A and B are shown apart, each in its own frame.
Chain A
Amino acid sequence: MLNAIETARITKYFDDITAVNNITLEVKAGELFGLLGPNGAGKTTLINLLSTMTAASKGSAAVWGYDVVKQASAVRRNIGVVFQDTTLDDRLTGRENLDLHGRFYGLDSKTRKSRIKEVLLLVGLYDRADAIVKTYSGGMMRRLEIARGLMHHPRVLFLDEPTLGLDPQTRRHIWEYIKTLNRKEGVTIVLTTHYMEEADNLCRRIAIIDCGKIVALNTPQILKNMLGGDVITLEVENPEDTGNLCKIYESNEIPSTISCNDKRIFITLKDGERRIPRVLALASDVRIPIQSVSLRKPTLDDVFLYHTGRAIRDEKEPGMAERVGYRLRSRRK
């Protein structure tokens, strides 16, 4: 099967910064692929390299079989890009923005009309098509941009932080649109995000990118399984029982790893929920009272922590104000 994207040791320097460092990557046609990484990881730079907006310092890349440098205009015909910061003309209406886009991509008047209707319906903006974009909310603008990116039937759609700064409900809506697109129109989608749940929910495969490098690449499930499975946390009544119980579990070959402190026992194991009964039964066999038990599935946060040695962000869901502030700042440069 054709690879939608192939890169070979692609690298981008900005002065003394290495924004993208030796990335070799393949994305299959029809895939929904995620680039997950913290601020400054190099996600946007990688998208710019792939979308012919920036020239690589070293290495090469091909999109839909075309070299991003030598065949830039063939690449452009086959991709749609939704940039991190808005690129709409906010003095025009939604429909006018789409119509101009269609003209730039050489769609004839009939195709433009029918396609505008299709994409507007897809993102739920058909009613507001004739309002000036200035009067749109952030979520509506984002949806309009996604619609516009699709207008010309691109083979590969790049979405740079498609839900940055949006409220959770709008974010979920956009996830739905993205999934529908990928399924119905068969578009290969590459999206960047630093929301773990977004990557987890949406993407078939994820590349975790940090400081310009890919540190892990696989399906979300496999990435999480690589950590050794689920985490069961037990709390016993008497701290002196802890050690005994650990030994019992080890001799029964329950966990992949086990650790304890004071009254708590942490057991990492596969298939956690099916094995809780056995874990509890073993404790009651030796009459060690258990106070509480909890099961936690590993998240991509744990995966990120494992691969980079730090959390992706200090706080998981930053407040709206901070996000918006960031957006404005990044727009100004």
Chain B
Amino acid sequence: MVKKALNTVYAMWLREMLRFSRSKSRIIGSLSTPLFFLVILGAGFSSSFEIRGGGMFDKSFLAPGLIGMSVLFSSIMGGVSIIWDREFGFLKEILIAPVSRFFVALGKAVGGVTTAMIQGTLIMIIAWLIGVEYVSIPGVLAAIGVMFVTGIGFIGLGISLATRIESHEGFQMVMSFLTMPLVLLSGAFFPISNLPAWMSYLVYANPLTYSVEALRFCLLGSSTIPLPESVAVIVLFALVMTGLGGNLFGKMRV
């Protein structure tokens, strides 16, 4: 029983890895956006802003935000890619197999989160190479853990959306009406300590905010939201989304 579940998860993970390893251009493409932000925004802003209470608004400040952004993009994509599986038929091959839908969805999620973590880690390394300093090695490892939990949450969200979305057009809608606001309202690009009230509600309602804050704490040693709080929120988010995604996927018809 357990072995069968693990087999299913592993098979789905393997498939994601095989596909990932064959899409070099996708990897490069998804790395380039955050890197442009990091280099250009970092250089442009560092001279002009100082964060109240000390610390510079520079590439070090941006790095955790951009890692969070990249994990968000690739994990939502990973979940929503079920739309493609449906469009190109492979979903039927999965749905007709005598395996638990929940573990299929979980395998898809673990596969997607692996790619998200690889991309997040690559950005973390590149940022370090161009001069961002991290506080400690355990901190860096903890950051990878944060990427994992964040990725699971957003993949669950992506899978849930995919079961409701009928088409490509719907997919475009998700990408522009969901991911951009999530990124912009997350504190990836600005400190969240001094926001107008209306905005701070939105920022604090956004799960990505807590991921970025947790990453900031792990990598740079300080954050506005205390670490236990941010970790609690992202873990809860991941659990809820896994439950929701697994459930909706279980009821999905092609």
**Which residues of A come within 8 Å of B, CB atoms?**
51-54, 73-74, 76-77, 81, 83, 85-92, 96, 100-101, 103-106, 132, 148, 331-332
Contact = CB atoms under 8 A, between A and B. Distances in A.
Interface string B32-54: 00000000000000000000000
A103 B11 contact: yes
Counting chain A CB atoms within 10 Å of each CB, the highest count among B7, B89, B95, B99 belongs to B89
B233 to A, nearest CB: 35
A85 B14 contact: no
Given A88-B90, A96-B18, A104-B11, 8 more contacts: A53-B95, A83-B89, A89-B19, A90-B88, A103-B8, A104-B93, A104-B99, A106-B98
A51 B96 contact: yes
B11 A100 contact: yes
A127 B153 CA distance: 42
B22 A91 contact: yes
Contact of B97 (A76, A89, A90): A76
B92 interface: yes
B10 interface: yes
A87 B10 contact: no
A73 B7 CA distance: 17
B4 A106 contact: yes
B240 interface: no
A138 to B, nearest CB: 14
Contacts of A96: 18
B94 interface: yes
Interface in B4-32: 4, 7-8, 10-11, 14-15, 18-19, 22-23
B130 interface: no
B90 A106 contact: no
B254 interface: yes
A96 B14 CA distance: 10
Interface string B91-108: 111111111000000000
Contacts of A52: 96
B96 A86 contact: no
A242 B11 CA distance: 74
Interface residues of B, number: 26
**Can you list the 7 inter-chain pairs with the closest CB atoms, starting with the nearest?**
A103-B11, A104-B97, A87-B89, A76-B98, A87-B93, A77-B98, A87-B92
A86 B11 contact: no
Contacts of B7: 103, 106
B8 A88 contact: no
11 contacts: A53-B95, A53-B96, A86-B88, A89-B15, A89-B19, A92-B18, A103-B11, A104-B93, A105-B98, A106-B4, A148-B93
Contact of A73 (B11, B87, B98): B98
Contacts of B87: 332
Interface of B: 4, 7-8, 10-11, 14-15, 18-19, 22-23, 87-99, 253-254
A107 to B, nearest CB: 10
Contacts of B99: 104
Contacts of B98: 73-74, 76-77, 104-106
Of the candidates B11, B96, B253, the one having the most CB atoms from chain A within 10 angstroms of its own CB is B96
Contacts of B10: 103
B19 A331 contact: no
A106 B99 CA distance: 9
Nearest to B3: A106
Contacts of A104: 8, 11, 93-94, 97-99
Nearest to B104: A104
A81 B89 CA distance: 13
A332 B168 CA distance: 11
A81 B93 CA distance: 9
B15 A85 contact: no
A88 B94 CA distance: 10
B89 A105 contact: no
B97 A105 contact: yes
A105 B97 CA distance: 7
B19 A91 contact: yes
Contacts of B89: 83, 85-88, 331
Contact of B15 (A86, A100, A106, A148): A100
A81 B88 CA distance: 16
Contacts of A91: 18-19, 22-23
Contacts of B94: 104
A80 B73 CA distance: 37
Nearest to A332: B87
B105 to A, nearest CB: 14
Contacts of B253: 53-54
A92 B96 contact: no
Contacts of B4: 106
B116 to A, nearest CB: 19
Contacts of B92: 53, 83, 87
Contacts of B23: 91
A70 B22 CA distance: 40
B97 A92 contact: no
B95 A92 contact: no
A18 B18 CA distance: 42
A88 B92 CA distance: 9
